[in-house]
Structure formats: C-alpha cells, structure tokens
Amino acid sequence: MAGMLPRLNLNHLAVLDALAETGTLTAAATRLGVTQSAVSHRLREAERRLGARLTRRAPGGGVTLTPEGDKLRDFAARTLGELARLEREIEARQSGDRRLVRLGQATYSRWHWLPDFLAYLAERAPELTVDLSGEATARPFTSLAEGAVDVVTVYGRPAAMPRLRWFRLGSDPLVVAMAPAHRLAAERIVDSRVIGDDRLFTYPISAEPGFEWEALLGRPNAPLRNVRAMPTPEAAIDLIRAGFGVGLFSRWAVEPEVADGTLVTRATSEEEFALDWWTVMRDSDAEDSPAGRLAQGLLAWSERHRNPLRTLGFETCEEPRKGR
C-alpha cells in the first residue's frame, strides 16, 4: 500500500502553483507565507523525488516551469482549488448548514448584476452560499465537467454536449462600443464597412469549440483591416475607453461604462442582432440540489427584469455624459 502513495505532497504542488503565478522564488515565498529557502528546498525535493527538472531560468530573470513542471502545475491548480472549495463547503455546513454552490460566467468577468441577484437569492434560497469561480470564464463546460464549478452563465447557442442541462435566461443585443469622442460615435449604425481601417479590439468569447466569433456571428460583410486581439474583454474595454479603438460586446457587459458616460454603444445593423444567454448545470445534479436551486434562482430572477444582466448592483461615480 505504501508504494501506491504519491511521491509529492500538497506543499510541493503549492510551490509549483505559486512559481507559475509569480515567476520568482522570492514572490512565491511571499505568496505562500514561507521563506525563500523553504521554497527552494521543496522544489529541489520534488525534483529529486521525481528525477526530473521542474523549473528553468527565464531569459529575463526569475524562473519558468519546464513541460514536466507545467503538467504538474495544471494538476496542482485543480487539486488545490478543489480542496479549498471542499474546505469552504465543510466550514459553511458547520456554521449553519448552509450549502456552498459555485457560480461561473463565460467570456466576461463582469459581475455588476450579482449584488441584485444575491439579494433576491437570499430571500428565495437563504440556505445557499454562492462562491464565484474564475476558471469558467475561459472554459465554462470543461469547468463543469471537472467539477470546478456547479453552474455557469453562457452566451451563445446551446452546444451539443452530453450531460449538461440548459435554461434560457434571456437575450441581449451585440453592439459596438466606443468612447463618446470617437469619430464613429457620430454614426447610427456601425458595421464592418463603417469600421474600415479603425482599430477593432477583439477577445476570446470562450476557449470551448464552437464558441469562436465567426461560429456565432458569421463572417463580416466587409474586411476588417485593423483587428487587435486582446486576452480579455476587460483589457479591450480599458483601451476603448481611452479612445484607442472600438469593440464588439454584448450590451450588458459594458453597462457600467455606458451608465457613467465613459462609453457609448451603436447597433451593428438595422435589424438588431442578439445572442441568447443561458444558465447551464450538470445533468447529473438534481433540481433540488444546490446547483439546481441556484440555476432555478437565476431563471426566476431573470424573469423579474427586462434586461437582467444590465442590472447595476452599485451606483456609478459620474453623471452620464452628453452624447449617449
């Protein structure tokens, strides 16, 4: 039985995860709350036990993981995240028999609607404690399958994926967003012909197959000659607010900026183009499970609002600017 035990323990995995996030032994030690020598010792011990190099020096200083280290780090991130979730769930149960359920959101890390929903959920299902999962932003369905999240909100079309249950929550138009002073703000309709040589910031809708831009929207009606891909929608929003270009968004995702006047939006065609958004859960979770109650809570909450995801759960800091 002893021979079946793994050579590495949680301390080794935590070091690899911290090194991947921080890139230096010193920063990894700070993050873990230990000394740099302790990090070095755990790393050398892990490499000695496996007989493989797990890190190498980075060209600009610091360290980076080898392919073997990357594989272990991926496992470490899942394992440490799941362990932390289980700990929170046990603590929640011990402190009042509350049920922990994890909520994720695909594509946009924008949660301005969440306070309003949580206030509603507290009345509908006070036994639930909602924890947010960032993993679902890029990989909503994989996160569901791996158990890293219990419920996700997804924009687009239902995917032909087994063992998932979909509930339609509503629809929202796709719009072009820009700073109020941008030249295209004078246009009523902004399509690919109007954008022309202007800088268009894009971002991944999701890393899941079938959720790429062209799969959802089709090809543009004119070539886009100055497309700049950004890693996240939030990075694109910051650049667009500064006047560096325009971007295509679900209208609700830029609601805070539209509300405070730092962005304006324009339609992409005479006929509004909208995508549905859904809440998705595992088919194996019962309707009366924490995941089922959260999904049904989202569905009931969305029926109370004409545009639920546009709900602002906080006050904006500025008066709306002219030109909206």
Residue pLDDT, tens place only, 21-73: 888 999 888 888 889 999 999 999 999 999 999 999 888 778 999 999 999 98
Mean pLDDT of the chain: 83
Q: What is the average pLDDT across 2-18?
A: 84
Nearest to 297 by CA among 135, 119, 165: 119
Q: What topology does CATH give the domain 2-77?
A: Arc Repressor Mutant, subunit A (1.10.10)
Contact in structure between 237 and 228 (CB atoms under 8 Å): no
185 three-state secondary structure: helix
Q: Which pLDDT belongs to residue 216?
A: 46
The answer on pLDDT for 215 being more than 60 is no
Q: Which pLDDT belongs to residue 159?
A: 65
DSSP 30-78: HHHTS-HHHHHHHHHHHHHHHTS--EEE-TTSSEEE-HHHHHHHHHHHH
Q: Which pLDDT belongs to residue 16?
A: 92
Which residues belong to CATH 3.40.190.10 in the chain?
Answer: 99-167+279-306, 170-275
| Span 65-104, pLDDT tens digits | 999 999 998 888 878 877 876 776 666 566 555 578 889 9
Which of the residue ranges 121-125, 236-240, 286-290 would you say has the lowest mean pLDDT? Answer: 286-290
Q: Which CATH number fits domain 170-275: 3.40.50.11240, 1.20.120.1200, 3.40.190.10, 3.90.700.10?
A: 3.40.190.10
Q: Which pLDDT belongs to residue 323?
A: 37
Tell me which of 225 and 249 has the higher pLDDT. Answer: 249
Which of the residue ranges 122-126, 212-216, 249-253 would you say has the lowest mean pLDDT? Answer: 212-216
Q: Which pLDDT belongs to residue 172?
A: 87
Q: Which CATH architecture has domain 99-167+279-306?
A: 3-Layer(aba) Sandwich (3.40)
Q: Per mean pLDDT, which of 21-30, 45-54, 157-166, 306-315 is the most reliable? A: 45-54
Q: Which pLDDT belongs to residue 205?
A: 67
Which residues belong to CATH 1.10.10.10 in the chain?
Answer: 2-77
Token pair belonging to 291: 């995941």
The answer on pLDDT for 207 being more than 50 is no
